[in-house]
Structure 1
Amino acid sequence: MQTTILIADDDTELADLLRQFFESEGFAVRLAHDGRAALSEAESDEVDLVILDVMMPEMNGLDVLKELRKDKDLPVIMLTARGDDLDRILGLELGADDYVPKPCNPRELLARIRAVMRRSEGSGGHSVMQADDLELNQGSRVLLKSGEQVDLTSTEFSVLQCLMQHRGSVVSKRDLYLSALGREPVAHDRSVDMHVSNLRRKLGPAPDGENRIETIRGIGYQYRVS
């Protein structure tokens, strides 16, 4: 089945160049050139992934993402101005799966898209991991907390999956990047830190009141054993 990508960017020339590139790679592509149109298109069940520019008229990309995350876990890759750490951090806090700085290399963006789509499509297995009051189904990629589903982005799920697979052991940040984001970390990249922060907020403390995910300074993180 063909994957449909929504490219939301008010730079019509760039959007059209990306459309031609991704169509040549076998994707179906939709375009939106302002935030309101992007939100309307993204809420369609026919869109599988969104490439979302931060700076757009009508409604900026961060506001689009905020509205989208109220009821959809659709994979989103943000396009941010190179060196604009604030937009990148805000995007990750709001639930973006990854980000690419502009101007971007279409092949790098393609690699990010394929990595995000692999995560969102699931592992194909059906094993279930349990820790404390959490039950993580690796096949359906559904997380239950005390029997209630917790909405996670595909990247948040993959970060938690990796930590639970190595419960009680320290997982380095590099290993989390490779396992959960499908790429090597780059200098000053705090993507994994932001995804862990989102997980802590969504999951809350363990039943004993302690942090589920511990920071191991200078190394990485571990899901602790109660």
Structure 2
Amino acid sequence: MSKIEIACFNPESAITAFENGADRIELCDGLSEGGTTPDFETVKQLHERITIPMFVMIRPRGGDFTYSNEEFEKMKSDLIQLKSLNVDGFVFGILDENDEVNVEQNRELVKLAEPYPCTFHRAFDRAKDLETSLEKVIDCGFKTILTSGQEANVSEGKENLKKLVELSASRIEILVGGGLRSSNIEEIRQYTKAQYFHSSAITDGGAYASAEEVMALKSK
């Protein structure tokens, strides 16, 4: 049975994921922007209700993953504030102007998050050079990389995902996500040998996780 993280863009989805067997929640806001930092009060209330691990997105806006000094300061202050709630981990990813992993800024945030683990999100799929980027992310101290194998979705990226699982050699968790559904998880798992999978479990083009889809993902 796979481990499943559900990307939740609202409190309702987080409760659905929790009640239907998800192993972890990635909590964010801004569905149309691909995920941004959620509201402090929302995180606080959910943290009191949910007993599975909840990782919180730190991303000040949609768009690219290269941030101004002001945006980086905002990411730091948001992380410090959310850390006070004792959430279980953080999700972020910063690239430089050349679309390479910004080691200095990522390392600073990872350090700030201690002792909580951090996931480098799908900014990885925009980064140059698969192997170099993998080593940089490991070097920054991340515990997990969320990736579709630097392709548009997990089906197109499955060769790279398999390669990442092999290259990581258990030094970092490869969290497979991007177009992942209960309909393709078995094939992707068998091909890549990954063990942790990420999905929004949204099946109707709306904004809310489907209880049936969470259960289906978990049962595969």
What interval of TM-score do these two structures reach, taking the shorter chain for normalisation?
Answer: 0.3 to 0.5
The structure in which a higher percent of residues are strand is: 1
* TM-score where L is the length of structure 1: 0.33
Between the two structures, name the one with larger relative contact order (CA 8 Å, sep ≥ 6).
Answer: 2
Determine which structure has more spread, i.e. the larger CA radius of gyration: 1
* TM-score where L is the length of structure 2: 0.34
